[in-house]
Structure 1
Amino acid sequence: MWALLRPALWFGSSVRGYHMPVPFPQPRNETSLVLVDEARRFIQDCLLRVGVPSSKVRCISEFLVVADYRGNFGNGLNRLDNYLSDLQRGHARLDAEPSIISETVATAHVNGNSALGVLVGNFCIDLAVKKAQSAGIGFVVAQQSHHIGMASWYAFRAAVKGLAGMVMSNAAPTMMAPDSKSASIGSNCLAFCVKGKEYHFVLDMATSVRDIGAVEWAWANDEYIPHGWAANEGGFSTCFPSLALRSPLLFPAGGHKGYCLSAIIDLLCGVLSGAQYATHIPLDQSQPSNLGQVFIALDPEFFLPNFMERLDDFCGRIQDSQPADESEPIRLPGELERMHMNYVEDLRALPYPNTLLSKYKDVADRLCVRPIELAFDRCQSRKSF
């Protein structure tokens, strides 16, 4: 059952912004366990029911299951209903395939043709990898794309080929500029992945303190969110995810630094690609998405044949630095996700809040597919990291 997911054991992201919220008591929603194969089966049944070709179903289901396996729940099963809705309303096209507009030895401009983001992303990063293997670098820019979910999925596809992968995407405006009360730019994402012989460096971050998926997940778990994540409709910080989701207003990570980083990503992904950007991207899509993305693959050995040894030394020096609290060791980006994968393997199943499972019981009834079957009811086991 774990064979397909085990190669991604180290694959993950621990950085979704730099804010370290002050802990405070939160209500905990009961959680149930779902076998990985069962989660995959349900996702595939739903996709087939809305008309997704069988040749594409496995790719999409693995993409969502691995997100939950890594603990990136905002981009896993939680996102399925959005994808199903976009497909049914034509915001993403069932029959679309990405195509190359123009290309050189090292670059390419791609039209996603409003296909689902994972299909566009896989096409683009694989194209970038192919170019990097011959030219040392592949730089691919995409327009007319869709939500790509966890960006580190694509960077990982480059890393398993021995390359460094970098991925960026713009998004609908949900992030406020410092001292603003309205959103003017997306909580745009950045992912980077490269592996050495002993260490792997995997970064996946939003430019907001936390992305909208984290707020949605808190709402699904009936939990509060720390102040400083998001604002209410009046622009004031709130701890209630229900208020934060009415008119998404996220705070940038690091104030103006996170906002400026997001602007650079939007310049490359939106302005450069010919896609929509900033407030041109509607929050409530009434037509196929036109998001922009950048996919970069780089061959480190083009510069240094001993890059992997130097990367291991680099990571080791960071990890060996003296922690302020001996009980909290220094962790590299991606280590928390590796720990979550170990946690899931110990459970032999994926933990989902019962509120989310109840939602997908309604989805199953609506689509006339077999509901998710639970491995165990009312699991109180919580991860300790």
Structure 2
Amino acid sequence: MPVVIPAAELGEFVTALLNTKIPDPDHARTVSDVLLWAARRGVDSHGVARVPRYLELLDSGEANATPELSFSGGPSGVTVLDADRAPGPIALTAAADEAVRRAQAVGIGAVGVRRTVHTGAIGYYTSRIASQGLVGIAFVAGMPNMSYPGVTGAAVATSPLSIAVPTAGSSPVLLDMATAGIALGKIAQYRNAGKTLPEGVAATADGTPTTDPALAKMPLPLGGAKGAGMSLVFELITSVLVGAPIVSSFHSDDPQGRVHRQNALILALDPAAFGDPAAFTEHVSETLAALQGLPSTGEIRYPGQNSAAIASKRAAEGIPVGPKVWGELEVAAEKLGVAVPVTPGG
């Protein structure tokens, strides 16, 4: 059975763990906020289950605990952030905020991100933009870990896409998806639970489809060639655009080609630059109401609505953490000298 921890206590616990590796308390809090955002919304594969991996990345130096973020010059609506191997939550939160500032000034903000490490739940950053009344769009490219039609073995990345659109009075529309049929973190969840994977979502190292999570080494593209093509294009508009190609480097004899890294593109659009922003959000809400008013065989929900409802429930009742993950957190806490929250019956 999972342990259930109040969201605030779990956030403080995760922040304290991260702060033992990340000297800047604001940076530690930022990483914690992104992980807790995912946990609250039921995206457990990107929630506190990732804390042990983040600690490993920081210990090994793959992720830079003391990054020097730097924005390059460029047109008023465009800039590139060199993340200096910062953990993704630190780099992409800074990029999202910069995109908002530029969009509020000139109508659109576009921030390319170079050299970050594990972006976390991409929907957090677009939601952050939408909370300012803007439309948020984000793409990420990373290390090849997914097949491509006709290729044996990993060829492209499970590159995610997110779009968040503000509404008039309800939770934002939030599309948050990968170009794979399943996330690597989800495969791990199936493995930990001893469950069989759905058909057609994962493969062995040589590309043979499998439903055994113990044998699954890489996800298969969502929609076959469609998901693979999206991943390739995301590599072009992120990594290649900022002068930091990953795919071509990975598949070459470049000694740095397989060093873990990710790149991103964060966009913010100000509805005021296109017309009346109040009318825009009203029309968004009208569109959602029209969809949800159609004849149906069940409840109709728009993207992000279900996870927003889970977030409300978990904010009130606490966040469940699986026994395996909780055990890993307890071990890390003992090693790092961090107090563990008291669990029910503990």
Residue 278 of structure 1: aligned partner: 247
Change (3 A) 1:234 1:264: closer
CA distance in 2, matches of 1:120, 1:51: 14
Residue 216 of structure 1: aligned partner: 188
What is the aligned-residue RMSD (CA, Å)?
2.1
Partner of residue 339 from structure 1, selected from 304, 309, 328: 309
| Aligned: 1:196 with 2:151 | no
Residue 161 of structure 1: aligned partner: 132
Partner of residue 293 from structure 1, selected from 264, 269, 273: 264
CA distance in 1, matches of 2:201, 2:329: 27
Residue 16 of structure 1: aligned partner: none
Structure 1 regions of 5+ residues with no counterpart?
A: 1-29, 378-385
Residue 123 of structure 1: aligned partner: 94
Which AA in structure 2 matches 1:257?
Answer: K
Which AA in structure 2 matches 1:202?
Answer: L
Contact 1:173 1:279 in 2 (8 A): no
Change (3 A) 1:38 1:322: same
Contact 1:114 1:289 in 2 (8 A): no
* 1:272 positional shift: 0.8
Change (3 A) 1:97 1:321: farther
CA distance in 2, matches of 1:239, 1:364: 34
CA distance in 2, matches of 1:89, 1:239: 32
* 1:376 positional shift: 5.4
Which AA in structure 1 matches 2:145?
Answer: T
* 1:319 positional shift: 2.0
| Aligned: 1:114 with 2:94 | no
* 1:349 positional shift: 1.1
Residue 61 of structure 2: aligned partner: 90
Secondary structure in 2 matching 1:96: coil
Name the stretch that deviates more: 305-314 or 120-129: 305-314
CA distance in 1, matches of 2:226, 2:11: 39
Secondary structure in 1 matching 2:214: helix
Contact 1:92 1:288 in 2 (8 A): no
Partner of residue 177 from structure 2, selected from 205, 208, 215: 205
Secondary structure in 2 matching 1:258: helix
Secondary structure in 2 matching 1:176: coil
Change (3 A) 1:90 1:343: same
Partner of residue 333 from structure 2, selected from 364, 368, 373: 364
Moved over 6 A (4+): 285-288
Write out per-residue CA displacement over residues 305-326 of structure 1, whole angstroms, 9 at most, x where no aligned residue.
Answer: 1211221222222222332xx2
Write out per-residue CA displacement over residues 72-108 of structure 1, whole angstroms, 9 at most, x where no aligned residue.
Answer: 1111111111111111111111111310122211111
Contact 1:139 1:295 in 2 (8 A): yes
CA distance in 2, matches of 1:33, 1:42: 13
Name the stretch that deviates more: 62-71 or 193-202: 193-202
CA distance in 2, matches of 1:224, 1:175: 19
Which AA in structure 2 matches 1:250?
Answer: P
CA distance in 2, matches of 1:271, 1:208: 21
Residue 285 of structure 2: aligned partner: 312
CA distance in 2, matches of 1:202, 1:113: 29
Higher relative contact order (CA 8 A, sep 6+): 1
CA distance in 2, matches of 1:253, 1:304: 35
Change (3 A) 1:37 1:74: same
Q: How does 1:238-277 map to 2 (within 5 A)?
A: 238-244=210-216, 248-277=217-246
Residue 14 of structure 2: aligned partner: 43
* 1:372 positional shift: 4.6
Q: Aligned pair count?
A: 339
Residue 18 of structure 1: aligned partner: none
* 1:286 positional shift: 9.8
Secondary structure in 2 matching 1:237: coil
Name the stretch that deviates more: 193-202 or 258-267: 193-202
Which AA in structure 2 matches 1:355?
Answer: K
Contact 2:112 2:266 in 1 (8 A): yes
Taking structure 1 as the reference length, what is the TM-score of the superposition?
0.82
Which AA in structure 1 matches 2:299?
Answer: P
Secondary structure in 2 matching 1:97: coil
Taking structure 2 as the reference length, what is the TM-score of the superposition?
0.91
Q: What is the percentage of aligned positions where both structures have the same residue?
A: 25
Change (3 A) 1:258 1:287: closer
Which AA in structure 2 matches 1:36?
Answer: A
Secondary structure in 1 matching 2:181: coil
CA distance in 2, matches of 1:338, 1:133: 26
* 1:219 positional shift: 2.5
* 1:178 positional shift: 2.6
Structure 2 regions of 5+ residues with no counterpart?
A: none
Residue 318 of structure 2: aligned partner: 349
Contact 1:172 1:279 in 2 (8 A): no
* 1:297 positional shift: 0.3
* 1:39 positional shift: 1.6
Change (3 A) 1:105 1:215: same
CA distance in 2, matches of 1:172, 1:373: 38
